[in-house]
Amino acid sequence: MKTIVITGATSGIGFAAAKALAAAGARVIGIGRSQQRCEAASEAIMSDVQCAQTVFICADLSSLSEVNAAAGRIKALLEPDGCLDALINNAGGVCSGYTVTPDGYETQFAVNHLAGFLLTYRLWENLKKAGGRVIFTGSNSHKKARIHWRDVMYSRHYNTLMAYKQSKLCNMFFAKELNRRFADSGVRAFVVDPGLVKTAIGGKQTSGIVQAFWKLHSKRGVSPEYVAKTYVYLVSQDPAPDGLYFHACRPAAYDKHVDNEQEAKRLFELSERLCGIRFVGSAVHGFANSNNML
């Protein structure tokens, strides 16, 4: 039985993927921000999927300390063999105004990128034991985006769309760099482009024009259940499929800028500093956190 961790698993794509993977026979560990929603999601899957094995953990992934705490709980659940077959970093959001996390980082950058970066680090040894997969929920929005190196957090001239596009480019760079640095680890990283989906992601932390646009725009999207098929495909294929970026269970074209090794390395090292960690070769080591690296 495969064990899969999914963040943002109480609604939308994450919930649909959790349910589909449970139906496929996987043990699912879901993470959600609300205890009430975690309980409701768990009950819904258990009632619809016979013999489903699901556990939900409540954590606000905008906080690095809560990411660390969630990782600790997951590692305990993975005993005794400690194997993790897949980590699906799906949690994400859109903010119409500039907000910061408890760690002082811009919210979209923190939730859409840093949370997955840190959780992957904390569960890396578990993933290696299983020759597992790391899967990110990306977006076509990464195309033509660039990292705003002069002000990564967009603290001076905040732009919702540019901050979101940057965070999705970060997903691409991180997956690409994981595959480059740890090619011999047995772990493979992928990014899923869900396309336009009928979910509430663009309306949860937004208001005004941004919220109104998303509500109208998303009505033309596909169902989360349709998108979930790609996650099941990437988890179940043996050996792992070739490619980095997938849409509708097939490799898709991505922005050539993603192949910029120097940029990917620079982002990786910045993310390590912001999270207070360091990947070293095939092992992982931590060091004191510093917020003065922007």
Q: Mean pLDDT throughout 122-134?
A: 98
Q: What is the pLDDT of residue 96?
A: 82
Predicted pLDDT at 280: 77
Question: At residue 44, does pLDDT exceed 50?
Answer: yes
In the predicted structure, residue 103 carries a pLDDT above the cut 60: yes
Percent of the chain scoring above 70 in pLDDT: 87
- Residue 197: its pLDDT value, please? 82
Question: 11-25, 69-83, 153-167, 205-219: which has the minimum mean pLDDT?
Answer: 205-219
Convert the pLDDT of each residue in 151-187 to its tens digit.
999 999 999 999 999 999 999 999 999 999 999 999 9
**pLDDT category, 207, cuts 50, 70, 90?**
very low
The length of the chain in residues reads 294
Token pair in block for residue 4: 């899969």
Percent of the chain that is helix, strand, coil (3-state, to 5)? 45, 15, 35
CA-CA-CA-CA torsion sign (54, 59, 62, 66): negative
Angle at 253 between CA 251 and CA 255, to 5 degrees: 140
Distance separating alpha carbons of residues 31 and 235, to the nearest angstrom: 18
Q: Is the bond preceding residue 241 a cis peptide, omega within 30 degrees?
A: no
Nearest to 17 by CA among 235, 220, 243, 247: 235
Give catalytic residue positions: 164
Checking if the pLDDT of 9 tops 80, the result is: yes
> Looking at the domain 3-261, which fold is it?
Rossmann fold (3.40.50)
Report which of 13, 11, 65, 64 is spatially closest to residue 38, judged by C-alpha positions. 11
Task: Measure the CA–CA gap between 260 and 149, rounded to whole angstroms.
Answer: 15
Whether 14 shows a pLDDT value over 80: the answer reads: yes
- 288 falls in which pLDDT band (50, 70, 90)? very low
Residue 206 pLDDT class (50, 70, 90 cuts): very low
What digits encode the pLDDT tens for the residues 225-255?
Answer: 999 999 999 999 999 999 999 999 999 999 9
Q: Which two tokens stand for residue 10?
A: 């109480």
* pLDDT surpassing 60 at residue 284: no
Helix axes 261-275, 115-122, angle to 10 degrees: 80
| DSSP code of residue 49 | S
Per-residue buried b or exposed e for 183-195, using 16+ beta carbons within 10 Å of the residue's own CB: eebebbbbbbbbe
Cβ–Cβ under 8 Å, residues 116 and 39: no
Confidence of residue 289 (pLDDT cuts 50, 70, 90): very low
* Mean pLDDT, residues 281-285: 49
What is the per-residue pLDDT for 124? 98
Least confident range from 95-99, 170-174, 189-193: namely 95-99
The mean per-residue pLDDT over the stretch 290-294 comes to 45
Tell me: the pLDDT tens digits for 261-271? 999 999 999 99
The β-bridge relationship of strands 133-137 and 86-89 is parallel
- The pTM of this model reads 0.90
**What pLDDT does 199 receive?**
60
| Residue 22 Cα distances to 25, 76, 146, 176, angstroms | 5, 20, 37, 28
| pLDDT for 220 | 56
Given a contact cutoff of 8 angstroms between Cβ atoms, the answer to whether 102 and 62 are in contact is yes
pLDDT tens figures, 60-94:
999 999 999 999 999 999 999 999 999 999 999 99
Mean pLDDT computed over every residue of the chain? 90
